[in-house]
């Protein structure tokens, strides 16, 4: 998805691809006429910005190297596999003053932005939300890091980001369950509102289900991705990243936002582990 987005332009050009397996890099680069970099350092010498499409533990190390080389960073979520590594990425990016942006795809869709604009005028007493699918049961998304860490690290950033914006800043979060099967989050927000988030990548559904329901004295406000075209996110993401790089100024969906979300994930994971025996890396 990253290669296709960046190659589509006209704001960006896919100049080179690097992977630990050269044949994998060649497979990605070939349809777009991009070069295959022989090493990560060689890749850094061929671009002004780096897009990461690797597991969190790999991103955490490589992003620091790219930041030190002065490259703009298009980062996946989460920033790293744990809070310490996420802080290392954020510290490097901020210390070297590079532009950063997160691939929180839903944030770039017009429907999401319309929902958040309406939510800013809505008084929410409470909220319910879910992000559920069966991709971890098999297929290309059932990767080793997702199977190890589960839905909290993969799906959690999306829901926590939206709840934090739509309901109000999250001041505490508690998790129960096993992130590899089903985890339930309870968030307390500034002003006293409470929200629930259900996360799983291991339930058989016809298609992914992402839904947020806000309730308050004015009634309800619902955000549901069932009918939206997710491909509409990519041109917006590409355009805004290119504009940020050229202006030398990160958007609000930057490494600071990534670190804020990772802090919330850490709190939820600690509470879930303490409550269920799932363990710190469950």
Q: What's the CATH fold of domain 106-225+263-276?
A: Dihydrodipicolinate Reductase; domain 2 (3.30.360)
Q: Report domain extents, the chain.
A: 2-105+232-252, 106-225+263-276
* pLDDT of the chain, 282 residues: tens digit per residue: 999 999 998 999 999 999 999 999 999 999 999 999 999 999 999 999 999 999 999 999 999 999 999 999 999 999 999 999 999 999 999 999 999 999 999 999 999 999 999 999 999 999 999 999 999 989 888 888 888 888 999 999 999 999 999 999 999 999 999 999 999 999 999 999 999 999 999 999 999 999 999 999 999 999 999 988 989 999 999 999 999 999 999 999 999 999 999 999 999 987 666 443 333 332
CATH node for 2-105+232-252: 3.40.50.720
| Nearest-5° Cα angle at 126, 282 to 118 | 105
pLDDT on residue 271: 63
Query: Exposed (0-12), middle (13-18) or buried (19+): which is 138, by Cβ within 10 Å?
Result: exposed
The 3 state secondary structure assigned to the chain is CHHHHHHHCCCCCCCEECCCCHHHHHHHHHHHCCEECCCHHHHHCCCCEEECCCCHHHHHHHHHHHHHCCCEEEECCCCCCCHHHHHHHHHHHHHCCCCEEECCHHHHCHHHHHHHHHHCCCCCCEEEEEEECCHHHCCCCCCHHHHHHCHHHHHHHHHHHHHHHHCCCEEEEEEEEECCCEEEEEEEECCCCEEEEEEECCCCCCCCEEEEEEEECCEEEEEECCCCCHHHHHHHHHHHHHHHHHHCCCCCCCHHHHHHHHHHHHHHHHHHHHHHCCCCCC
Using an 8 Å Cβ cutoff, are 214 and 166 in contact?
A: yes
Nearest to 108 by CA among 282, 231, 6: 231
What is the model's pLDDT at position 278?
35
* pLDDT attached to residue 139: 84
Residue 23, CA atoms < 13 Å, CB-side half-sphere: 0
């Amino acid at each position: 998805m990253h290669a296709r987005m960046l190659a589509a332009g006209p704001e960006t050009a896919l100049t080179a691809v690097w992977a630990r397996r050269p044949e994998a890099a060649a497979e990605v680069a070939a349809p777009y006429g991009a070069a295959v970099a022989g090493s990560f350092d060689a890749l850094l010498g061929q671009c002004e910005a780096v897009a990461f499409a690797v597991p969190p533990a790999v991103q955490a190390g490589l992003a620091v190297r790219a930041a030190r080389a002065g490259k703009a960073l298009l980062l996946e979520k989460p920033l790293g596999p744990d809070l310490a590594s996420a802080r290392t990425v954020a510290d490097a990016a901020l210390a070297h003053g590079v532009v950063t942006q997160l691939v929180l795809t839903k944030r770039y869709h017009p429907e999401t932005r319309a929902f958040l604009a309406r939510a800013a005028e809505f008084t929410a007493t409470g909220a319910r939300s879910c992000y559920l699918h069966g991709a971890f049961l098999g297929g290309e998304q059932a990767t080793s890091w997702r199977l190890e860490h589960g839905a909290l690290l993969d799906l959690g950033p999306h829901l926590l980001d939206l709840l934090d914006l739509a309901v109000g800043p999250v001041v505490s979060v508690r998790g129960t369950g096993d992130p590899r099967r089903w985890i339930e989050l309870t968030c307390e927000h500034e002003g006293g509102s409470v929200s629930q988030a259900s996360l799983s990548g291991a339930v058989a559904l016809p298609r992914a289900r992402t839904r947020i329901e806000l309730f308050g004295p004015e009634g309800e406000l619902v955000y549901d991705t069932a009918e939206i075209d997710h491909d509409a996110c990519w041109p917006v993401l590409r355009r805004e990243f290119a504009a940020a790089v050229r202006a030398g100024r990160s958007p609000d969906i930057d490494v600071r936002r990534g670190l804020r979300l990772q802090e919330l994930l850490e709190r939820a994971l600690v509470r879930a582990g303490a409550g269920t025996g799932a363990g710190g890396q469950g």
